[in-house]
Structure 1
């Protein structure tokens, strides 16, 4: 798929890389599945960069609109799963 990852020009290069890693982790959960703990590490870093719920919703909706993958549903499913679980989303 061809799409762009949402980001802010206010972020540092490392923050942009870390946010992209989070969105790539969302893709991986849909395409192959991922360990819950590994995913939550990416999500916690994303939340350090984007602490506001409103901003989180904005960036996640932009990503979902362009990619078809819902970060919201992945995070919700991960939070409901147990530590150490392997989670794969149904498309």
Structure 2
């Protein structure tokens, strides 16, 4: 695991992750976001808390989606299905946090 202490260290490492080299074609930013390990996301959060909050909100939305999908799939009948409007809403952002 590289030593990523500064904003420039983190940004430079993320750029390397996107860069094609050898047989590796490189990644898109979306691909990088999908495979970013927790240790790297933690370093990113140290320098870009707004980006980290967006990632957390996306994770909460994904969890809510998976829960709703599971409820819909496993309902025995249409009457048992829970309309999306009745499912619990994803957790709200803390007060004072900018909205995406």
If the length of structure 1 is used for normalisation, what is the TM-score? 0.36
- Compare the two structures and name the one with the higher strand fraction: 1
If the length of structure 2 is used for normalisation, what is the TM-score? 0.34
